[in-house]
Chains A and B, each alone.
Chain A
Amino acid sequence: MKISYHWLKEYVAFHLSPQELAERLTDVGLVVADVKPVEDDFCLDIEVTSNRPDCLGVIGIAREVAAIVGGNVHFPETNYVLADAGISQTIAVTVDEPILCPRYTARVIRQITIAPSPEWMQKRLRCIGLRPVNNIVDITNYVMMETGQPLHAFDLDKITEQKIVVRKARSGEEIVALNGARRALFHNMLVIADGKKPVAIAGVMGGKETEVSETTRNILLECAQFEPRQVRRTSRELGIVSDSSYRFERGTDYECLDRASQRAARLIKDCSGGEIASDALDIKSGRHETKKITLRVKRLHTVLGTEIKRDLAIDILNKLSFTILNDNEDFIAVEVPGFRSDVYREIDLIEEIARIYGYNKIPVKTSISVRGNTKSKYEVVEDSVRQFFIGLGFYEVKTFSIVDTAPLQSVNLWSDRVGVEIANPLRLEESRLRTSLLPSLIGVKGHNLNHGTEHVRIFEIAKVYLAGDKLPQEKNCLSLLADADFLTIKGVFESLTRHLGIVLSCEWLPFIEPRLFRNERAARIQMGSAPVGYLGEASQELGFKAVSCLAEIDLDLLGEKANFARKYQDLPQYPAVFRDLALLVNEEVTWSSLERCIMNTGVDFLKELKFFDVYRGKQIPAGKKSVAFSLCFQAKDRTLTGEEVDHAQQIIVAALSGTVGAELRKA
């Protein structure tokens, strides 16, 4: 909210320069974002938090200044001479919706002369960025800026049937607002209507038809309170925001409303020569009780961690217009002023005292006891995985969890259920929670390609969201994309599991997802009974030039299986014996079947089996391949003899020959 420095000085005496004032206000929670000289005045732009609607008027700010500098607020004059004729002969007001409009006041002022408002008023309005219009409009604006209470003036002669009804809009009704916007109204909106049609959108904006103009002679001055939620909803639905709606949305002061109306009436009389009708209409439906709170002095000290003297606390509360009802050594009982709807508990009083005392005067205590903290296992795993990939030359990326509805984004590796949709997406393009990280990584690769970076090795650790019953399941995943072939990335995965101390071996099963992976070069990785991940070369459809590989891994499962407990094993005392074998097998024989067969023989002393390579060439018959590997034999207690190793090797070769028809390759 913008206020004028000189205007403020009218209500409270202080000796602070605009800059000093800005600093002091900022210190008590009214952040001054900007101080700007305007003509011979200064405009202060104050950020008022949503709980302080009382500070949306200069008088409210003056109260804070009075509390800071220790002065009194001088309220403007509101007394005036009344005309003989009453209002009731002229107009009848009915409030059909007392909950949405707890109080409605109306005054009639006749025989006014529309003219420019006085120069001093124009100057103040210009200072805070408002354009002067005419005396009536300017006065309603001026009083709103002064008191924080919005007012509206209708051209009385344009009100049909001499009546005002505060009611809900009827279907089919519409209005042209003061700003020229034509809007259809809905039955959930509150309006001010005359005998026929709406003449204002309650709390938001008046209508064009009953606007005060050059020819206006008589006016109806409305000053009311409207329910904040209703105003907010209507303002948003119609797309009309005004200084009034801004204030009503935050809550106005029930009690000061009539005084604002009187203040405006007095100014109108002074500036336009009008006559104020003898009685005002004041329809009250809300019941208002003053709030009483007791503050325990000891509690004040406990919460703030410092001993603010009781007398000082009382002084601060007094300055903030709280009435001290009672006080002794331990307690201070107060009555809360009507404009402080945000204060209703002891803790609120503590905040008030702390605020004015100064947050920065409260000591910095460093007595928080020392306590060891523990990292959860998942934390350890996540950190470890990150370091592992960085070490391998991967960059970590972060992409949005909310994705578009492109077909690729419907890839769901983890669940058969559809993805989670957002009811109110920002844009259609961002309307769904992702079920896989891979489409985003593909996007990152594309972005980098477009910017001249050809090769990428990237990974992301983030959640995928799988539809659930009440809340979706949020699965932590690790996904990666790199310019490398299947076996290279398979090796990366195998190395990762070792790095995490996972002993459980994985099964690699064929997997088809043509949107992501190249057929026959993709696998579902099974760990125990659950899939731990999917890995494959990128589908040609993705259009990458070089061979790229994608993988998505269930990081929760990896974390669960990870084992960082290490135990030292004695180093072998006796030498190992290595035997290299090359076998001729049919093309369809897989390495895993060879491996399984060898392991199943259960031969003694076989310590390790290591794959070398697969060879196909002119010495190898068609439909066959040569698979070379090395066997390592070792005993704990002695050096193995050649015969023992020969024997074991023979058993293995025989088993391979029997199960998969392998024959030892000669030369």
Chain B
Amino acid sequence: MEEKLEEIKRNLHEEIRSIDAQKNAEHLRIKYLGRKGIISDLMKLIPTLPIDSRADFGQQVNSLKREITDSIEALFKTVSVQAVPKVKVELFDITLPGKLPFVGRNHPLTQTIADIKEVFASLGFDVAYGPEVELEYYNFEALNIPADHPSRTDFDTFYIKNDVLLRSQTSTVQIRVMEKQKPPIRIIAPGRVYRPDTVDARHSFMFHQVEGLLVDENVSFADLKGVLYQFIKAYFGQNVQMRLRPSFFPFTEPSAEVDISCSLCEGRGCSVCSYSGWVEILGAGMVDPNVFKAVHYDAEKYTGFAFGMGVERITMLKYGINDIRLFYENDLRFLSQF
């Protein structure tokens, strides 16, 4: 037994000599002093020894344990002292740039639609969708656009077949919703629309619209103004002014173009507003009685209003984007700016 204890001591000192790092010192500590270490193993032997030699052996093991503990503690001190100069060499520079995580972005048009939805959600408008490939009926006839209206020619609308086309406006959703639902109705309908325009900085054969519709008893032109006013203030800012001009749309009567005061020049006149101080942002009006007739609503009982805006146009105005094509090129240098 004594020999074994001596051997353990010898081995320990030999190992200590070859130690050169803190990690190895810890390794050694576990080996000798750990729960399953050599000392612990020796302790476990005690019950197996003859009773009279147990106390003696126990003392020897304890003294060995002390010795080993001291040696290893000393060892920790030396290796940590040795380790110090190394740390000094590798100074940590907290001013180095951080490692940036990948962060993506919504497309700017998605953000605009989301912002518009949020304003109208607060006014109680639900979101409705409809097909992009539509029956001619929903795109024109039900919207009081007569058979000989110029917009129905294939110069202004993409046709798939005779009576099937790519919707040229999201107003189609109005009709689909009114067919399924009785008033009160309060919806906005965002989505893609198509018109055969040659692509340039201001035109695209595909773009986005958000159409709104509110139908109930006693809805008036003044209510239309109220809702648009709230939208414009919420989206473009409290200082923006609103102006309505009489206009013409087959599906509304009376109809209006809605302008906001140019935020770029604050109404003084600049190239964005063609030096008028006003920028056109949407079309609106009271739902034409013929549209109600198409969906079998009682036009005496119900009145309503509708409005529609181009999402690209509003986004371009808000961010000062001068070319609509940027939205569909998806250059990451563009997308990363929003």
Q: Is B158 an interface residue (CB 8 A)?
A: yes
Q: Is A373 an interface residue (CB 8 A)?
A: yes
Q: Are A365 and B244 within 8 A (Cβ)?
A: no
List CB contacts (< 8 Å) of A360-395 with chain B: 360, 362-376, 379, 383, 386, 389-395
Q: Are B330 and A305 within 8 A (Cβ)?
A: no
Q: Is A645 an interface residue (CB 8 A)?
A: no
Q: Are B194 and A402 within 8 A (Cβ)?
A: yes
Looking at A36-44, A164-172, A469-477, A532-540, the stretch in contact with chain B turns out to be A469-477
Given contacts A362-B222, A474-B132, contact A392 B160 (CB under 8 A): no
Q: Are B221 and A398 within 8 A (Cβ)?
A: no
List CB contacts (< 8 Å) of B121-174 with chain A: 121, 123-127, 131-135, 148, 150, 153-155, 158-161, 164, 166
Q: Is B47 an interface residue (CB 8 A)?
A: no
Closest B residue by C-beta to A304: B221
Partner of B225 from A33, A363, A420 at Cβ < 8 Å: A363
Q: Is B336 an interface residue (CB 8 A)?
A: yes
Given contacts A302-B218, A390-B105, contact A367 B127 (CB under 8 A): no
Interface SS of chain B: helix, strand, loop or mixed? Answer: mixed
Residues of A contacting B328 in the complex (Cβ-Cβ under 8 angstroms): 398-400
Residues of B contacting A425 in the complex (Cβ-Cβ under 8 angstroms): 158, 196
Q: Are B222 and A355 within 8 A (Cβ)?
A: no
The CA-CA distance from A384 to B185 in the complex, in Å, is 27
Residues of B contacting A420 in the complex (Cβ-Cβ under 8 angstroms): 133, 160
Partner of B222 from A364, A372, A373, A422 at Cβ < 8 Å: A364
The CA-CA distance from A367 to B222 in the complex, in Å, is 9
Given contacts A303-B303, A420-B160, A448-B331, contact A386 B254 (CB under 8 A): no
Q: Are A368 and B150 within 8 A (Cβ)?
A: no
Looking at B34-42, B59-67, B77-85, B96-104, the stretch in contact with chain A turns out to be B96-104
Q: Are B229 and A364 within 8 A (Cβ)?
A: yes
Partner of A365 from B166, B214, B220 at Cβ < 8 Å: B220
Residues of B contacting A51 in the complex (Cβ-Cβ under 8 angstroms): 248
Q: Are B244 and A368 within 8 A (Cβ)?
A: no
Q: Is A228 an interface residue (CB 8 A)?
A: yes
Q: Are A249 and B220 within 8 A (Cβ)?
A: no
CB distance from B275 to the nearest CB of A (A): 9
Q: Are B106 and A386 within 8 A (Cβ)?
A: yes
Q: Are B286 and A390 within 8 A (Cβ)?
A: no
Q: Are A351 and B127 within 8 A (Cβ)?
A: no
Q: Are B221 and A303 within 8 A (Cβ)?
A: yes
Q: Are B335 and A395 within 8 A (Cβ)?
A: yes
Given contacts A345-B289, A401-B192, A453-B332, contact A359 B102 (CB under 8 A): no
Q: Are B105 and A365 within 8 A (Cβ)?
A: no
Closest A residue by C-beta to B186: A371
Q: Is A152 an interface residue (CB 8 A)?
A: no
Q: Are B186 and A354 within 8 A (Cβ)?
A: no
Q: Is B243 an interface residue (CB 8 A)?
A: yes
CB distance from A364 to the nearest CB of B (A): 5
Q: Are B214 and A368 within 8 A (Cβ)?
A: yes
Residues of A contacting B243 in the complex (Cβ-Cβ under 8 angstroms): 360
The CA-CA distance from A444 to B326 in the complex, in Å, is 12
Given contacts A236-B155, A302-B218, contact A29 B335 (CB under 8 A): no
Residues of A contacting B125 in the complex (Cβ-Cβ under 8 angstroms): 373
Given contacts A228-B148, A396-B110, contact A351 B154 (CB under 8 A): no
Q: Is B45 an interface residue (CB 8 A)?
A: no
List CB contacts (< 8 Å) of A466-490 with chain B: 470-472, 474
List CB contacts (< 8 Å) of A26-53 with chain B: 26-29, 31, 33, 49-52
Q: 1/0 contact trace for A252-264 toward B, CB 8 Å?
A: 0000000000000
Residues of A contacting B104 in the complex (Cβ-Cβ under 8 angstroms): 389-396, 457
Q: Is A423 an interface residue (CB 8 A)?
A: yes
Closest B residue by C-beta to A52: B248
Given contacts A302-B303, A368-B124, A470-B164, contact A393 B225 (CB under 8 A): no
Residues of A contacting B223 in the complex (Cβ-Cβ under 8 angstroms): 305, 365, 367-368
Partner of A474 from B103, B133, B245 at Cβ < 8 Å: B133
Q: 1/0 contact trace for B220-247 toward A, CB 8 Å?
A: 1111011101100000000000011111
Q: Are A366 and B230 within 8 A (Cβ)?
A: yes
Q: Is B181 an interface residue (CB 8 A)?
A: no
The CA-CA distance from A451 to B333 in the complex, in Å, is 9
Q: Are B148 and A305 within 8 A (Cβ)?
A: no
Q: Is A306 an interface residue (CB 8 A)?
A: yes
Q: 1/0 contact trace for A413-454 toward B, CB 8 Å?
A: 000000011111110001001000000000010011001010
Q: Is B329 an interface residue (CB 8 A)?
A: yes
Q: Are A393 and B160 within 8 A (Cβ)?
A: no
Residues of B contacting A364 in the complex (Cβ-Cβ under 8 angstroms): 222, 225-226, 229
The CA-CA distance from A472 to B161 in the complex, in Å, is 12
Closest A residue by C-beta to B103: A393
Residues of A contacting B16 in the complex (Cβ-Cβ under 8 angstroms): none
The CA-CA distance from A127 to B274 in the complex, in Å, is 22
Q: Are A393 and B214 within 8 A (Cβ)?
A: no
CB distance from B194 to the nearest CB of A (A): 7
Q: Are B159 and A423 within 8 A (Cβ)?
A: yes
Given contacts A50-B150, A359-B246, A426-B205, contact A304 B222 (CB under 8 A): yes
Residues of B contacting A470 in the complex (Cβ-Cβ under 8 angstroms): 135, 164
Q: Are B103 and A390 within 8 A (Cβ)?
A: yes
Residues of A contacting B335 in the complex (Cβ-Cβ under 8 angstroms): 395-397
Q: Are A365 and B226 within 8 A (Cβ)?
A: yes
Q: Is B107 an interface residue (CB 8 A)?
A: yes
Q: Is A5 an interface residue (CB 8 A)?
A: no
Residues of B contacting A249 in the complex (Cβ-Cβ under 8 angstroms): 150
Q: Is B309 an interface residue (CB 8 A)?
A: no
CB distance from B140 to the nearest CB of A (A): 14
Given contacts A351-B255, A463-B132, A474-B132, contact A371 B124 (CB under 8 A): yes
Q: Are B226 and A373 within 8 A (Cβ)?
A: no
The CA-CA distance from A514 to B336 in the complex, in Å, is 32
CB distance from B13 to the nearest CB of A (A): 33
Residues of B contacting A433 in the complex (Cβ-Cβ under 8 angstroms): 133, 166
Given contacts A364-B229, A390-B105, A402-B205, contact A232 B150 (CB under 8 A): yes
Q: Are A305 and B327 within 8 A (Cβ)?
A: no
Q: Is B253 an interface residue (CB 8 A)?
A: yes
CB distance from A198 to the nearest CB of B (A): 24
Q: Is A348 an interface residue (CB 8 A)?
A: yes
Q: Which of A347, A389, A463 has the most CB of B within 10 A?
A: A347
Q: Are B105 and A395 within 8 A (Cβ)?
A: yes
The CA-CA distance from A355 to B257 in the complex, in Å, is 12
Q: Is B21 an interface residue (CB 8 A)?
A: no
Residues of A contacting B192 in the complex (Cβ-Cβ under 8 angstroms): 401, 462-463
Q: Is B33 an interface residue (CB 8 A)?
A: no
List CB contacts (< 8 Å) of A293-329 with chain B: 302-306
Q: Are A422 and B166 within 8 A (Cβ)?
A: yes
Residues of B contacting A212 in the complex (Cβ-Cβ under 8 angstroms): none
Residues of A contacting B321 in the complex (Cβ-Cβ under 8 angstroms): none
Q: Is B198 an interface residue (CB 8 A)?
A: yes
Q: What would 16 more interface pairs be, CB under 8 Å, given A306-B220, A354-B246, A457-B104?
A: A29-B247, A249-B150, A305-B220, A354-B221, A359-B256, A371-B186, A390-B106, A395-B105, A395-B107, A402-B158, A420-B160, A430-B205, A447-B330, A447-B331, A465-B132, A471-B133
- 28 A-B contact pairs sorted by A residue (CB < 8 Å): A27-B246, A31-B245, A302-B218, A303-B220, A306-B220, A306-B221, A347-B254, A354-B246, A362-B221, A363-B222, A373-B120, A373-B124, A373-B126, A395-B107, A395-B330, A395-B332, A398-B110, A400-B206, A402-B206, A420-B133, A420-B160, A426-B198, A451-B331, A451-B333, A453-B333, A463-B192, A465-B132, A472-B133
**Nearest 3 pairs of A and B residues by beta carbon:** A393-B102, A305-B220, A305-B222
Q: State the B residues within 8 Å of A (CB).
A: 101-107, 109-110, 114, 120-121, 123-127, 131-135, 148, 150, 153-155, 158-161, 164, 166, 186, 192, 194, 196-198, 205-206, 214, 218, 220-223, 225-227, 229-230, 243-248, 253-257, 274, 286, 288-289, 303, 327-333, 335-336
